[in-house]
C-alpha cells in the first residue's frame, strides 16, 4: 500500500487507498474490526442486527452502508422476508421494471422512499436503488438509470451529504450509484454500463455481481468486472461535480439524459481526465465490488478501490436464498484457509482434510489453536474475519503491479496445496483479473496507438 499501515482505513472507500468494506457484523465487537484495512461496514437495511452494527461503527469510527436491496421488490411479497416487507419502499406487488417505462413521478416517489429510509436509519454511505434484469440494454436498465437520477435529485434537495442534525460534527455522507447485474450479462454489457453510469454525478459506484458460483468465477466475467470497475474509477466526473461534501453538487451535470448520450467505453473513459493511471490515485471516483467471492483479493491487488466481503463467505444471489431473506446468515459457515486461498473441505467427509491442512499450515489468526481448525460458529467467524483482513492487507501492500505479481505466486502455491487435497484448482478468475488490468494499463499508456487500432 505504501500509505501508512498504522493509520486507519478511510471511513468510506477512496481511490488513494484500497480497502475492504466488511459485510455484516453480527456478534462482532468493535475491538475485533480490522480498522487498518476496513473503513466501512455494510449490511442489508432490513437486517435484524442493524442497530447493533450502527453502534459498532460509531465506536470504531467507521462508515456504514445500509444496502436497500431494492431488487427484492421484483419478487412476490411472500418471498421477500418479513423484515423487508416492513420497509417503506416495499412494493405491494412484484415490480416489473422490464414491462414498461417508469413515469418521472413514480421514479421520484420510489427513489425518495429508498433514500429517506437509508438516511433515517443512520447510513453514512447511501446507495441508489438497483434491480436485476433478464437482459441488459433494455427498458429495465433505462428504468434503473432513471431511478438513479431521481435519487441524485432527492439527495440534492435534502442536502444529503450533510451530517444528521443529531451528529453535526460527523464527516460528510456520500452517495454511490448501484449497478446490480447478473454475472453472465457482464461481458457484453460493459461498454454501455460504463458510458451511462460514469455520467452520473455521484461520489462512487457499488457493483453487485449476482449469479451462480460457476458463472461468477469464469475468466470472461472476471475480465468484464475488472474492465468496468477500473473504467469507472478512471472516468472523469461530470463537469462541475466536486463531491457530495460540497454544496456545488447541486449544479453537477449528468442524469439520465446525459448518461444515455455518453459515448465511449473503457478507452474513452481512460483517455479523458488523466486516463487509467488516475484510477489508482487522486482524481477518480471509487468503486466497490460485491459478490466476487474469494477472488475479490485479485481485484484489490489490481487497483480496485474496495471490495465488499464478509466473514461468513456468503455471496449475493437473485432470487436470494430463503435462509438469508431477513439478512441473517445460516448456521453453517465455511472455514477459510490462506494456504488454499479458499474454504477448507466441509462436513464430516472433509474432516481429515481440514485437520491435515491446519496441521501442515498452522493458522496465525490467534482465534483458535494454530494447528487445529476453529471449532464452532463464533470461533469460525472470528478466524474468517482475521483471514479476510490478512488477505486484504497482503493484496494491497505495494503498488498494483507488484501486488499482482505476489498474488500470482501465492495462487501457484495454493494450487499445489489444493492438488495434495484432491481439490480443484482455483478458478481462472484469479489470474484473469491481473491480465486484464495489465492490458488496460498498457492501452492507457499508449493512447495514440489505442485510438488508431
- C-alpha cell of residue 368: 483458535
Quote the CA–CA distance of 209 and 324 in Å, as a whole number.
17
8 Å CB contact between 11 and 40 = yes
Model confidence over 206-232: pLDDT tens digits? 999 987 777 788 999 999 999 999 999
Quote the CA–CA distance of 27 and 50 in Å, as a whole number.
11
Confidence of residue 266 (pLDDT cuts 50, 70, 90): very low
**CA neighbor of 118 nearest in space, from 16, 50, 35:** 50
Model confidence over 131-174: pLDDT tens digits? 999 999 999 999 999 999 999 999 999 999 999 888 899 999 99
Question: Kind and range of the H or E element at 213?
Answer: helix 213-216
Quote the CA–CA distance of 314 and 309 in Å, as a whole number.
8
Q: Residue 321: what pLDDT?
A: 67
Confidence of residue 51 (pLDDT cuts 50, 70, 90): confident
Quote the CA–CA distance of 380 and 69 in Å, as a whole number.
27
Model confidence over 412-422: pLDDT tens digits? 999 999 999 99
Cα within 13 Å of Cα(419), Cβ side = 6
For residue 17, the SS3 value is strand
Please give the average per-residue pLDDT across 343-351, as a whole number.
Answer: 86
352 forms bridges with which residues in the sheet?
none
Confidence of residue 252 (pLDDT cuts 50, 70, 90): very low
**CA neighbor of 426 nearest in space, from 308, 311, 307, 293:** 293
Model confidence over 179-193: pLDDT tens digits? 999 999 999 999 999
274 pLDDT above the threshold of 50: no
8 Å CB contact between 69 and 178 = no
DSSP letter, residue 424:
P
Q: Which residue has the cell 486461498?
A: 341
Please give the average per-residue pLDDT across 279-301, as a whole number.
Answer: 85
14 forms bridges with which residues in the sheet?
17
Q: Which residue has the cell 466497490?
A: 288
Q: Residue 446: what pLDDT?
A: 79
Q: Residue 70: what pLDDT?
A: 97
pTM of the model: 0.88
Q: Residue 134: what pLDDT?
A: 93
CA distance to 144, 265, 377, per residue, from 104 (Å): 12, 28, 47
258 pLDDT above the threshold of 70: no
Question: Angle formed by the axes of helices 219-234 and 429-445, to 10°?
Answer: 40
CA distance to 6, 11, 47, 57, 342, per residue, from 62 (Å): 16, 5, 18, 5, 27
Model confidence over 69-89: pLDDT tens digits? 999 999 999 999 999 999 999
- C-alpha cell of residue 240: 462541475
Q: Residue 311: what pLDDT?
A: 82
Model confidence over 363-390: pLDDT tens digits? 999 999 999 999 998 899 999 999 999 9
Q: DSSP for 336-347? A: EETTTTEEPP-T
Please give the average per-residue pLDDT across 315-343, as a whole number.
Answer: 72
Q: Catalogue the E-assigned strands of 183-304.
A: 204-210, 287-290
Q: Residue 345: what pLDDT?
A: 86
Q: Residue 216: what pLDDT?
A: 81
Amino acid at each position: 500500500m505504501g500509505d501508512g499501515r498504522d493509520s486507519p482505513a478511510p471511513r468510506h472507500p477512496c481511490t488513494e487507498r484500497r480497502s475492504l468494506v466488511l459485510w455484516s457484523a453480527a456478534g462482532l465487537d468493535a475491538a475485533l474490526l480490522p480498522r487498518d484495512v476496513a473503513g466501512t461496514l455494510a449490511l442489508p437495511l432490513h437486517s435484524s442486527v442493524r442497530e447493533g452494527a450502527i453502534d459498532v461503527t460509531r465506536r470504531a469510527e467507521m462508515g456504514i452502508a445500509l444496502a436497500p436491496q431494492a431488487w427484492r421488490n421484483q419478487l412476490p411479497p411472500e418471498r421477500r422476508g418479513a423484515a423487508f416487507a416492513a420497509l417503506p419502499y416495499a412494493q405491494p406487488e412484484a415490480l416489473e421494471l422490464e414491462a414498461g417505462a417508469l413515469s418521472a413521478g413514480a421514479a421520484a416517489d420510489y427513489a425518495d422512499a429508498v433514500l429517506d429510509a437509508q438516511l433515517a436509519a443512520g447510513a453514512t454511505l447511501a446507495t441508489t436503488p438497483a434491480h436485476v434484469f433478464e437482459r441488459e440494454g433494455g427498458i429495465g436498465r433505462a428504468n434503473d438509470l432513471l431511478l438513479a437520477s431521481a435519487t441524485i435529485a432527492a439527495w440534492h434537495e435534502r442536502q444529503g451529504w450533510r451530517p444528521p442534525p443529531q451528529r453535526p460534527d460527523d464527516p460528510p455522507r456520500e452517495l454511490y450509484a448501484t449497478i446490480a447485474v447478473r454475472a453472465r450479462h457482464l461481458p457484453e454489457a460493459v461498454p454501455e454500463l460504463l458510458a451511462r453510469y460514469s455520467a452520473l454525478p455521484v461520489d462512487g459506484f457499488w457493483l453487485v455481481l449476482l449469479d451462480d458460483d460457476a458463472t461468477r468465477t469464469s475468466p470472461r466475467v472476471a475480465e468484464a468486472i475488472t474492465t468496468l470497475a477500473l473504467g469507472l474509477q478512471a472516468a472523469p466526473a461530470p463537469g462541475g461535480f466536486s463531491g457530495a461534501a460540497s454544496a456545488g453538487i447541486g449544479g453537477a451535470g449528468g442524469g439520465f439524459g446525459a448518461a444515455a448520450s455518453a459515448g465511449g467505453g473503457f478507452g474513452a473513459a481512460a483517455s479523458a481526465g488523466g486516463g487509467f493511471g488516475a484510477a489508482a490515485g487522486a482524481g477518480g471516483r471509487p468503486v466497490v465490488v460485491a459478490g466476487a467471492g474469494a477472488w475479490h483479493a485479485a481485484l484489490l491487488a489490481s487497483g480496485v478501490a474496495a471490495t465488499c466481503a464478509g466473514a461468513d463467505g456468503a455471496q449475493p444471489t437473485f432470487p436470494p436464498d430463503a435462509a438469508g431473506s431477513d439478512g441473517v446468515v445460516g448456521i453453517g459457515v465455511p472455514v477459510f484457509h490462506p494456504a488454499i486461498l479458499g474454504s477448507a473441505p466441509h462436513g464430516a467427509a472433509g474432516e481429515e482434510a481440514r485437520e491435515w491442512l491446519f496441521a501442515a499450515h498452522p493458522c496465525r489468526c490467534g482465534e483458535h489453536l494454530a494447528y487445529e481448525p476453529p471449532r464452532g460458529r463464533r470461533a469460525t467467524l472470528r478466524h474468517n474475519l482475521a483471514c479476510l483482513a490478512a488477505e486484504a492487507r497482503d493484496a494491497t501492500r505495494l503498488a498494483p503491479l507488484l501486488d499482482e505479481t505476489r498474488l500470482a505466486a501465492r495462487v501457484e502455491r495454493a494450487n499445489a496445496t489444493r492438488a495434495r487435497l484432491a481439490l480443484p484448482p482455483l478458478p481462472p478468475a484469479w489470474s484473469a483479473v491481473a491480465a486484464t488490468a495489465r492490458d488496460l494499463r498498457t492501452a492507457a499508456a499508449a493512447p495514440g496507438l489505442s485510438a488508431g487500432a
